[in-house]
């Protein structure tokens, strides 16, 4: 089969790789129907994370079950499935608490399972899925069309990840929301906030194309400023008060400071940008503003069923976040387009 392998910074190649097969009784093998490139795939691509040896990359995919191990009863060949961006067991206390991204048996696409068997990356033609029953979510549609498949693919990561800070910041009916970050996750956070009934949603963005998508997703206003000027503009837009909830979808120190500056006393910050650059929160500042802040890796597996329902009902359409589509063989070009910010998010078709 063909699969995308990262060799080092700036060096992503589509190569031949052995087609996976069932290794353990709980495994499934999935034929990938669609995959994509994540902002976090750019970290090793940009050298922010080391790549000590070549490895398969990609952690978002949807596809069709090809084969299952003897312990897999809930899935059968032919089922269309969504794979969350991490493997989880569904049974440990953390999974039972809904925190599947901290599962005691967590495994990553492109890594190895607990028995030491390699796991394929999502940006390839086939993937062996360990703990398939607890990891994959079956979609009750045999052959989703292109548009539906794109929306289903966002449930792997970006839509679930945009939903997480909205849940963490207790977004709900009538609550005003600011979204910091106009990447694919930030845009999905706008959608998530609207879905939860948020009052005005304000998106922070300086890019015309992303502003347009944010508005399409339900943002009532766009703030282009940064720092105190942005907070002042938010205050103006909200009739003299800051936001009830701020969703931080970047992960830099500046973005977190922007979030703190835009939230009202007693308000909530949800964060999902993976923290880079030694971000620290000053407890005194949180204390003084009485802010509640929560977030982390989204428990995508927990959120998928609820989001899936709305995607299937046609009321949630996050697939529009893909502005470019390429064949799998063009993965290197997809990485370049994302790295150079020429694309918000690239969908890959094997």
> In the numeric block, which tokens belong to residue 41?
């795939």
- Binding segment for a second copy (CB under 8 A), chosen from 36-44, 192-200, 211-219, 280-288, is 280-288
Q: Residue 290 CB, nearest distance to a second copy (Å)?
A: 3
Interface residue with a second copy, options 14, 101, 190, 321 (CB under 8 A): 101
Say how many residues touch a second copy, by CB under 8 A. Answer: 38
Told to check if 232 binds a second copy by CB under 8 A, we report no
Could you tell me the two tokens for 30?
Answer: 């999935």
Helix (H) or strand (E) holding 221: strand 221-223
> Rule CB under 8 A: is residue 99 a binding residue for a second copy?
yes
Per-residue tokens: 239: 């009739």
Assess 90 for contact with a second copy (CB under 8 A).
Answer: no
Asked if 59 is part of the footprint of a second copy (rule: CB under 8 A), the reply reads: no
By the rule CB under 8 A, 299 interacts with a second copy = yes
- Is residue 296 close enough to count as binding a second copy by CB under 8 A? yes
DSSP 119-141: ---SSBSEEEETTHHHH-EEES-
One of 265, 305, 309, 342 touching a second copy (CB under 8 A): 265
| The CA-based dihedral angle spanning residues 150, 301, 186, 221, taken in that order and rounded to the nearest 10 degrees | 90
Instruction: Give the SS3 label for residue 232.
Output: helix
Q: Which of 47, 70, 78, 98 is close enough to bind a second copy by CB under 8 A?
A: 98
One of 198, 291, 300, 348 touching a second copy (CB under 8 A):
291
Regarding 264 and contact with a second copy (CB under 8 A), the answer is yes
- Cα radius of gyration rounded to whole Å, the chain: 20
Residue 93 binds to a second copy (criterion: CB under 8 A): yes
Is 286 an interacting residue with respect to a second copy (CB under 8 A)? yes
Q: Judged by CB under 8 A, does residue 266 bind a second copy?
A: yes
Taking the complex as a whole, the smallest distance from the CB of residue 248 to a second copy amounts, in Å, to: 9
CA distance 30 to 75: 11
Bridge partners, 12 (sequence order)? 6
Q: Which residue, 32 or 169, is less far from a second copy as judged by CB?
A: 169
Q: What is the footprint of a second copy within residues 132-191 (CB under 8 A)?
A: 168
Question: Does 236 participate in binding a second copy (rule CB under 8 A)?
Answer: no
**What is the total residue count of the chain?**
350
Reading phi first (left if > 0) and then psi (alpha if -120 to 50, else beta), residue 10 is in left
Give the one residue of 173, 284, 313, 340 binding a second copy; rule: CB under 8 A: 284
CA distances from 261 to 43, 100, 135, 194 (A): 27, 31, 38, 22
d(CA 310, CA 270): 22
Q: Which stretch binds a second copy (CB under 8 A): 99-107, 117-125, 134-142, 226-234?
A: 99-107
Strand partners, 67: 29
Neighbours of 94 (CB within 10 A): 18
Q: Does residue 283 bind a second copy (CB under 8 A)? A: yes
Contacting residues toward a second copy, per CB under 8 A? 93-94, 97-99, 101-102, 168, 240-241, 256, 264-266, 268, 271, 274-275, 278-284, 286-297, 299
């Amino acid at each position: 089969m063909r699969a995308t392998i990262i060799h080092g910074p700036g060096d992503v190649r589509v190569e031949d790789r052995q087609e996976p097969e069932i290794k353990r009784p709980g495994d499934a093998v999935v034929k990938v129907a669609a995959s994509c490139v994540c902002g976090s795939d750019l970290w090793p691509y940009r050298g922010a994370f080391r790549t000590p040896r070549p490895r398969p990359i990609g952690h978002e995919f949807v596809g069709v079950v090809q084969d299952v191990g003897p312990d897999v009863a809930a899935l059968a060949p032919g089922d269309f499935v969504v794979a969350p961006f991490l493997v989880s067991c569904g049974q440990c206390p953390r999974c039972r608490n809904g925190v599947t991204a901290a599962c005691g048996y967590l495994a990553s696409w492109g890594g190895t399972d607990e028995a030491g068997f390699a796991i394929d990356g999502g940006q390839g033609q086939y993937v062996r899925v360990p703990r398939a029953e607890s990891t994959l979510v079956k979609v009750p549609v045999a052959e989703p069309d292109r548009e539906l498949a794109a929306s289903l693919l966002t449930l792997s990561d970006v839509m679930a990840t945009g939903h997480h800070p909205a849940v963490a910041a207790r977004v709900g009916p009538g609550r005003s929301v600011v979204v910091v970050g106009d990447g694919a996750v930030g845009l999905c956070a706008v959608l998530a906030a609207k879905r939860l009934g948020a009052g005005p949603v304000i998106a922070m963005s300086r890019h015309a194309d992303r502003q347009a998508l944010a508005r399409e997703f339900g943002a009532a206003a766009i703030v282009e400023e940064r720092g105190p000027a942005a907070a002042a503009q938010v205050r103006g837009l909200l009739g003299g008060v800051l936001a009830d909830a701020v969703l931080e979808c970047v992960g830099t120190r500046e973005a977190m400071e922007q979030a703190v500056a835009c939230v009202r006393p007693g308000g909530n910050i949800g964060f999902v940008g993976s923290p880079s650059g030694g971000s620290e929160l000053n407890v005194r500042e949180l204390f003084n503003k009485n802010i509640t802040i929560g977030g982390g890796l989204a428990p995508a597996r927990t959120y998928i069923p609820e989001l899936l329902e709305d995607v299937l009902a046609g009321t949630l359409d996050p697939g529009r976040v893909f502005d470019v589509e390429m064949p799998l063989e063009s993965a290197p070009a997809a990485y370049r387009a994302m790295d150079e910010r020429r694309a918000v998010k690239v969908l890959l078709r094997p």
